[in-house]
Amino acid sequence: MTFDADTKMQFLYTLRSKGVTDARVLTAMEQVDRADFVRGIFAERAYEDMPLPIACGQTISQPSVVGLMTQALQINPRDKVLEIGTGSGYQAAILSKLARRVYTIDRYRRLVEGARAVFAKQQIANITTFTADGSFGLADQAPFDRILLTAAAEDPPGPLLAQLRIGGIMVLPVGQSDAVQSLIRVTRLDTGYEYDELRAVRFVPLLEGLGQE
């Protein structure tokens, strides 16, 4: 699938109109071809601002939500970032353009393998993938400068809070699945954690254990 310059211009215009204004985030989103992360008939809709179905009954997030979450993370070029919920790999690819290294985890091996193939195709070399229950984070690689969850938890998982560096930022949707959730930002201070609520969102739930595919 090839897209013309007008389609990409329109895409960037839509992102800006929905509040994605950080120039570095917009540049990253211009660089990463979302069509590679979407299969079959949905690929032609890759530049529409909507979530789309991917394998294993999951979804690739809406681009403007990807942009807003990435912007809220305030990533620095030297940061080590952890993402829970690889899905298609699109969000991880955006993070990889802004950070030094990205670790991404999904509970479905099939999704992780699909994402790895796209990272190779796009010559992205600073993402490390894992098939695991991401609620426990990655103790071996901790602490992280930034952590992003792209599946909704009822509360921020304790191991992830513990694996956030002091001064670090975690962004995640919280709330019951199937209800409206809130996107929140957690900042770790040396005295504790500070929480702020960003907006209403809707994500698939964070589930326990490994997936069957």
Enzyme catalytic residues: 61
Interface with ligand SAH (CB under 6 A), residue from 59, 62, 122, 126? 59
Tell me whether residue 75 or residue 204 sits nearer to ligand SAH (CB atom).
204
- Position 36 contacts ligand SAH (CB under 6 A): no
- Position 87 contacts ligand SAH (CB under 6 A): yes
- Position 107 contacts ligand SAH (CB under 6 A): yes
- Position 61 contacts ligand SAH (CB under 6 A): yes
Please list, in sequence order, all residues whose beta carbon lies within 8 angstroms of the beta carbon of residue 7, skipping any fewer than 6 positions away. 47
Interface with ligand SAH (CB under 6 A), residue from 85, 114, 156, 175? 85
Interface with ligand SAH (CB under 6 A), residue from 70, 71, 91, 129? 91
- Position 112 contacts ligand SAH (CB under 6 A): no
Tell me whether residue 189 or residue 200 sits nearer to ligand SAH (CB atom).
200
Tell me whether residue 115 or residue 186 sits nearer to ligand SAH (CB atom).
115
Tell me whether residue 180 or residue 189 sits nearer to ligand SAH (CB atom).
180
> Per residue, what are the HEC states of the chain?
CCCCHHHHHHHHHHHHHCCCCCHHHHHHHHHCCHHHHCCHHHHHHCCCCCCEECHHHCEECCHHHHHHHHHHHCCCCCCEEEEECCCCCHHHHHHHCCCCEEEEEECCHHHHHHHHHHHHHCCCCCEEEEECCHHHCCHHHCCEEEEEECCEECCCCHHHHHCEEEEEEEEEEECCCCCCEEEEEEEEECCEEEEEEEEEECCCECCCCCCCC
- Site residues (CB under 6 A) for ligand SAH? 58-61, 84-85, 87-88, 90-91, 105-108, 111, 133-135, 150-151, 204, 206-207, 211
